[in-house]
Structure 1
Amino acid sequence: MTVQPVSSRPQLSPDMFDELCPSTLLPFRFGDKWAPLVLRCLEDGPRRFSELRVPLNRVTPKVLTQSLRGLERSGLVARSEYDGGTRVEYALTPLGRSMLEPMAAACAWAAEHWDELLDAREAYDASSAGQA
């Protein structure tokens, strides 16, 4: 696998994940809450922690570290140290890359059923509020 130097990869946008991203409506998860977003950030090649923080600015550094460790433990992400450990990059493994297609399908499903999912949640919340 050829890895592009960091300088030649496009920067991650701070708006990569809108707060109204359909992935928040999925009734199932791929790993922890942030795992699918981390995998998407790594889709175009390895990234440093500070690069991941740009689009994932709503996650604390501690939780992002926990998510990265969980992904590494599951064999989806590889952590590489350079310059005696002063520079660390995270990259998708082949197993992690294989998750991109099912995640894309799940996101497309959520986008297609956005209104139904929102209606169901609102109806549930309204009925739950009346029971409390």
Structure 2
Amino acid sequence: MTSIEPDPREERLPKWARDRMAYYRRLATTAEARVNAAKAYAEGARDGTKPGETDTVLDPYDPHPIGLKPGTRVRFKVDLGLPPKMADRIGYVDITARGGHVELMAGGPMTLHPQVSNVLHVKLRGH
């Protein structure tokens, strides 16, 4: 991580301006650290899992796809227009790769709608 050094001319600025500049430097440094962590994760540095070595890959068409541990359960939240408490209980679909098939588990009733030979839509039904 690189540090953003203050410009010597900042000393002539009012205190509020110097404080604001310091605040933005901290934000930039934090953002840079997050970007570096995401890159390291995408390259498998966090747990050693590379996209080609797992059954669960986030954003596979991105130049830096993220490989998760094999069998990781991924949750997709679906907006059903429900109140927040109810939406947290039933407005989701969990997906896991398990031994040659994909398991879908929803918080409530769901219907599957084939679209073409390799696309399937999952529709959740709110109560």
Q: Greater CA radius of gyration, 1 or 2?
A: 2
Give the shorter-chain TM-score range. under 0.3
User: With structure 1 as the length reference, what TM-score do the two structures score?
Assistant: 0.20
User: With structure 2 as the length reference, what TM-score do the two structures score?
Assistant: 0.20
Answer 1 or 2: higher relative contact order, Cα 8 Å, separation at least 6. Answer: 1
